[in-house]
Homo-oligomer: A and B are copies of this chain.
Amino acid sequence: MALSEFDIIARYFTRQGAYRDDVVLGVGDDAALLKVPRDRQLVLAVDTLVAGRHFPEDAAAFDIGWKALAVNLSDFAAMGATPAWATLSLTMPAVDKHWLQAFADGFYTLAEQYQVALVGGDTTRGPLSVSVQLQGYIKPGKVLRRDAAKPGQALFVSGTLGDAACALHQLQSGAVDALVFGRLNRPEPRVALGQLLGGVAAAAIDVSDGLLADLGHILEASRCGATLYPERLPASAALQNLPAGEVLEYQCNGGDDYELCFSVAPERRAQLDAMLHEQALSVAEIGVIDAQPGLRCKFADGRIITPAIHGFDHFLSDDDD
């Protein structure tokens, strides 16, 4: 028997995720009604994942549900914001109950972990595509913006880079490492780190299109340049037996890392170090913001090169471009 749109909503998407008493009206009316805390600004992020472009056509439904929320949580991490309420637009070619159950499980697992309530959305039939919008809030003085980098600030990146790009490469060759595959399919957004960085870091962005491309957005918005120290880019154990050039390519131009890249002014450095130590957070210092425009890579042997930036762009990555 076919499920109507209303049956689908009733069966799979009325679980609220996290319970929140600031939800006045959730799924089921013309619109959702929510209470934003006083003295906070509203934060919105939206990301659409299309089958075959943002995840493999045969990706597990659980992973698609997870990743659709994770990429938005990662945008919140990059702002230092607190996530609260999500909406979901799900377009599917047909109703597959097993697929829907697994998709909802992946979505709600992450939603519960981050105290996010699902408050609305729609389901419609068409080629598989998932659009999630995340709402939340932030204290006005704690916002991490792309345009706040200044010469002399140190550059950092969280966690490790290049695992997801390595996983995509392995998928083509057939030999898949579980660790890097997990980084590709179930990214862990750095929400807690982002919130800790509010008031400490200056500029921040999440690394979704590749380190060089995303750092480039900071430099463009802040009208400055940067020098990177390539040997300092953090790599997971999974990448350590690969040729250095291949690792560097994954780290610089691979997408889907969902780590935070951020700058910190010299006068905030002691505060950052104390915080990282206290929280046992893994963060690497990878470069410095310069007044001179452009991006330079300075190797330990003294070589300086201007790297080619070819991060992932969803309109440029087709064969026909």
Contacts and interface: CB of A to CB of B under 8 A. Distances in A.
Nearest to A25: B145
Interface stretch (A26-34, A58-66, A149-157): A26-34
Given A33-B143, A143-B33, A89 B8 contact: no
A95 interface: yes
A44 B146 contact: no
Interface stretch (A76-84, A166-174, A295-303): A76-84
Q: Indicate how many identical chains form the complex.
A: 2
A87 B44 contact: yes
Contacts of A119: 44
Interface string A1-19: 0111110100000000000
Interface in A217-270: 221
Interface in A43-99: 43-48, 50-54, 75-76, 78-79, 81, 85, 87, 89, 91, 95
Contact of A125 (B32, B43, B78, B318): B318
Contacts of A120: 44-46
Given A36-B42, A50-B126, 6 more contacts: A33-B42, A53-B124, A54-B124, A95-B315, A125-B314, A127-B129
Interface of A: 2-6, 8, 24-25, 28-36, 38, 41-48, 50-54, 75-76, 78-79, 81, 85, 87, 89, 91, 95, 119-127, 129, 131, 133, 135, 138, 140, 143, 145-147, 204-206, 221, 313-316, 318, 321
